[in-house]
A and B are shown apart, each in its own frame.
Chain A
Amino acid sequence: MAEPAAEPAPREQMGCLAGLWLMLKLPFMFLKTVPYFGAVLRHEAATTTGERAQISFEELTPPADRAACAAVLAEVRSHDAGFDLAATARGVVRARQIVEQARLSGDASPARQVMSDGLWQVLVMILDNYAAQNVHREGTSTVVEAKVVDGTRDSLAEQLRLRLACRGQRCDTLGEQLLRRQDGEQETWHEDWIIRRSAAATTPDSGGLLSGRCPQCGAALEVGPDGSCGYCNALVLTGGQDWVVWSIEEESW
C-alpha cells in the first residue's frame, strides 16, 4: 500500500519568508550595535583572551623564594607552637578529596566544612551552572605530592600556598560530548590550594577544620546551615580560628 503523500511543508515556506525578513532586518540589527561600540572597545582593552589568558592568568603563580617561604613558616611556628606542616598538608589533601567528590556528585554540601564561606558559595554557583547546562565531571585523581610554594603573613592574616601534584584523569562532558579532558596517568598536573586564617589563630589540639574537627570544641565537624559548629555554635568557616581553603587555582586543562 502506498504511503500517503507528504503534506506540503508550510514550515519551509515560513522559513523562506523568515529568511527574507531576516535579510531585510540584518543591516539594521548591525546598526543597533553602534551605541555599544565604546563598551566593546573598553571590554576588549581590559580583557585578555585565548592563549594570552592561559599564559597570563591561568598559569600557576611561580614559587616564592625558598628562604622567604621558610621565613614565613618560621613566623607561623613562632606564634603557633602546635603548627605541623605535614599534618596541614595532609588536611589539604583530605580537603581536596572532599571537594573533588562534591564536583563529581554535583552536590556542593559536603565541601562546605572545608572551604571558606565565599569560595563555597562560588562552588555552589558553578555546580548549579553545571546542572543547568547538563555538564558532568567524571574521573578520579589522587595527590602524589604536596609542598608549600609560597606563604604570606601580615598583621591581619596568614596564608599558605600548597602546590599539589595530582595523578589520574578527569573530564567534563556535556551528554556524550567531551568538553575538556586532563589525562594524568603518565604525568602529573598541578593545582595550588591556598589556605588562610587569621594572624591570631593557632592550631587547635583536635587538629582543626582540615582534620574534620571543630576548632572551638573539638567535636567531629558538622557545619550547621548558618555556618556554625553543630555542637558549640562557633562560627568556624571565617578563617578566624583555623585554616580554611581560601582559593583553588588550577593549571589550564
Chain B
Amino acid sequence: MVIRMLQDIRLGIGFAFLAYIVVWILAIVIMVLLAAILLISRKSPDAVRDVFRQLVASSSSRELVHVTDRSGSPRMAVALSKLRAFDPEFDMTAFLDGARVAVGAYAMAQMGRDDRLLRRITTPGFWQTFNGKMINQLIIQRDEMAKKNPDRPRTTFVTLDVSWRQPVVQEVALGQRGEDRITVRLASVFIGARMPGWCRVDSATELDWDFVRPAGSRTDPGAVLQRRTCAKCGGPYRSEMDTVCGYCHTPRADAQAGWRLDRNYLVVQTGR
C-alpha cells in the first residue's frame, strides 16, 4: 500500500511537472509573439508596418481606436462658428491650452506619478473607459509597489521632455445627448532615457481627446485660467496637482472653462 501511495505521489509530481512545462511553453510562445509584434512594429519597413497598422485598425473597436488618413472634417468649421455665435466668449486659444494641460495630466498619471489633476478635470464617464480603467490599474500597482518596497528606486526611466505637436480640432458636436463635445487630435511626444546605460527612448503617440460640457453652457471669461489661490480663504495651492485648499480644505474650483476630458482614443494612421 505504501508503495502504491509512493507511486501515486510520483505520478502526481510527474503531472504537475508536465503541467508546469506546458505553462512555460505557453509563456515562451507569448513572449516570442510579443517580440515579433515589437519587431514588426518598430524595425520593419514602412510598407510592412502599414499592413500591421491596418490589421490592428480593422480588428479594433471604434470605441478604442480612430482610424484616419489625415483628411479634415468640413462640418467642423460650421459647428465651430455656431459655437462662437452662441458662446461669444469661447476662446479657442484658451481651450486648446486647457486641452494641453489635460494631456499633460494624463501623461503624469500614465507614468504612475500623480493622478490628482487628471481626476479633477475628467468626467466620471472617463473612468469607465478602457483608458480610464488602465490608469486606475496603474495607480493601484504604483501604490502596491510603494507599500511592498518603500526603499526601491521609483523608476528606471527618466522623462526628459514631453511636448504636444500639431493640435487640430477634429470635430465639434453641439447639444448632442445634452452636451457639447469638441474632439482635439494631437501627437504626444515623449523623450526619455532608460536604464541600463540611460539610452534614449523617444516615442510619439497620436490620440483624439474628447472634451465635453453641458449643452447650453457659456464661457465665463474670468474662469478661463486655472486658479492658483483658494477662492474662499485666498491661500495658495502648493502644487498644480492639489485638489483641495491646504488651509481651509475647500475643494478646488473647476478649470478649463467648464470643459472636461470625457474620453480619448488612440489614432492609427494608415496609408503613409
Q: Which residues of A contact B (CB under 8 A)?
A: 24, 26-28, 30-31, 33-34, 37-50, 52-54, 56-58, 116-119, 121-122, 124-126, 128-129, 132-133, 135, 155-157, 172, 174, 177, 179-180, 196-198, 225-227, 235, 237-240, 246-250, 252
CB pair A125 B97 closer than 8 Å: no
Does B11 lie at the interface of the complex (its beta carbon under 8 Å from any beta carbon of A)? no
CB pair B240 A117 closer than 8 Å: no
CB pair A248 B93 closer than 8 Å: no
Q: How far is the CA of A250 from the CA of B20 in the complex (A)?
A: 51
Does B140 lie at the interface of the complex (its beta carbon under 8 Å from any beta carbon of A)? no
Q: How far is the CA of A252 from the CA of B205 in the complex (A)?
A: 16
Q: Using Cβ atoms and an 8 Å threshold, which residues of chain A touch B155? A: 133
What total count of A-B pairs have CB within 8 Å? 201
Q: Which residues of B contact A (CB under 8 A)?
A: 20, 23-24, 26-28, 30-31, 34, 37-38, 41-42, 52-53, 56-57, 60, 64-65, 81, 84, 91-94, 96-101, 104-105, 107-108, 113, 130, 134, 154-155, 158-165, 187, 189, 191, 193, 198, 200-207, 221-222, 224-229, 236, 239-240, 266-268
Q: Using Cβ atoms and an 8 Å threshold, which residues of chain A touch B207? A: 46
Q: Using Cβ atoms and an 8 Å threshold, which residues of chain B touch A34? A: 30
16 further interface pairs, Cβ-Cβ under 8 Å (given A45-B52, A118-B99, A121-B104):
A31-B26, A41-B56, A44-B56, A50-B42, A116-B97, A122-B101, A122-B104, A133-B155, A133-B159, A155-B81, A174-B193, A225-B229, A239-B91, A246-B97, A247-B164, A250-B163
CB pair A225 B23 closer than 8 Å: no
Q: Using Cβ atoms and an 8 Å threshold, which residues of chain B touch A26? A: 27
CB pair B93 A116 closer than 8 Å: yes
Q: How far is the CA of A43 from the CA of B94 in the complex (A)?
A: 29
Report the minimal beta-carbon distance from B33 to chain A, rounded to whole angstroms.
8
CB pair B27 A27 closer than 8 Å: yes
Q: Using Cβ atoms and an 8 Å threshold, which residues of chain B touch A37? A: 34
Q: How far is the CA of A100 from the CA of B29 in the complex (A)?
A: 49
CB within 8 A of A226: which of B93, B104, B189, B229? B229
Report the minimal beta-carbon distance from A123 to chain B, rounded to whole angstroms.
10
Q: Which of A40, A121, A248 has the most CB of B within 10 A?
A: A121
Q: Using Cβ atoms and an 8 Å threshold, which residues of chain B touch A135? A: 158, 160
Residue of A nearest to B231 (CB): A226
Please name the 6 residue pairs, one residue from A and one from B, whose CB atoms are nearest each other, closest first. A118-B97, A30-B27, A27-B27, A46-B266, A57-B204, A227-B225
CB pair A239 B93 closer than 8 Å: yes
CB pair A125 B56 closer than 8 Å: no
Report the minimal beta-carbon distance from B149 to chain A, rounded to whole angstroms.
13
Q: How far is the CA of A7 from the CA of B57 in the complex (A)?
A: 60
CB pair A42 B202 closer than 8 Å: no
CB pair B101 A46 closer than 8 Å: no
CB pair A179 B193 closer than 8 Å: yes
CB within 8 A of B163: which of A24, A237, A248? A248
Q: Which of A124, A135, A247 has the most CB of B within 10 A?
A: A247
CB pair B27 A117 closer than 8 Å: no
Q: A117-B97, A156-B92, A249-B165 are in contact. Are A47 and B203 (CB under 8 A)?
A: yes
CB pair A45 B239 closer than 8 Å: no
CB pair B225 A237 closer than 8 Å: yes
CB pair B159 A129 closer than 8 Å: yes
Q: How far is the CA of A246 from the CA of B99 in the complex (A)?
A: 13
Residue of A nearest to B33 (CB): A37
Q: A122-B104, A133-B155 are in contact. Are A57 and B93 (CB under 8 A)?
A: no
CB pair A45 B57 closer than 8 Å: yes
Residue of B nearest to A137 (CB): B160
CB within 8 A of B134: which of A39, A122, A155, A247? A39
Q: A30-B30, A177-B198 are in contact. Are A157 and B92 (CB under 8 A)?
A: yes
Q: How far is the CA of A53 from the CA of B165 in the complex (A)?
A: 12
Residue of A nearest to B131 (CB): A39
Q: How far is the CA of A128 from the CA of B107 in the complex (A)?
A: 13
Q: How far is the CA of A117 from the CA of B240 in the complex (A)?
A: 12
A-B contact pairs, 22 of them (CB 8 A): A30-B30, A31-B23, A40-B34, A44-B56, A46-B205, A47-B203, A48-B203, A49-B42, A50-B42, A57-B189, A117-B226, A121-B101, A125-B162, A128-B239, A155-B84, A197-B93, A198-B91, A225-B228, A227-B228, A235-B222, A247-B163, A252-B202
Q: How far is the CA of A246 from the CA of B163 in the complex (A)?
A: 12
Q: A58-B189, A125-B108, A180-B193 are in contact. Are A46 and B165 (CB under 8 A)?
A: no
CB pair B65 A42 closer than 8 Å: yes
Residue of B nearest to A129 (CB): B159
Q: Using Cβ atoms and an 8 Å threshold, which residues of chain A touch B104? A: 121-122, 125
Q: Using Cβ atoms and an 8 Å threshold, which residues of chain B touch A33? A: 30, 34
Q: How far is the CA of A226 from the CA of B237 in the complex (A)?
A: 11
Q: Using Cβ atoms and an 8 Å threshold, which residues of chain A touch B154? A: 132-133
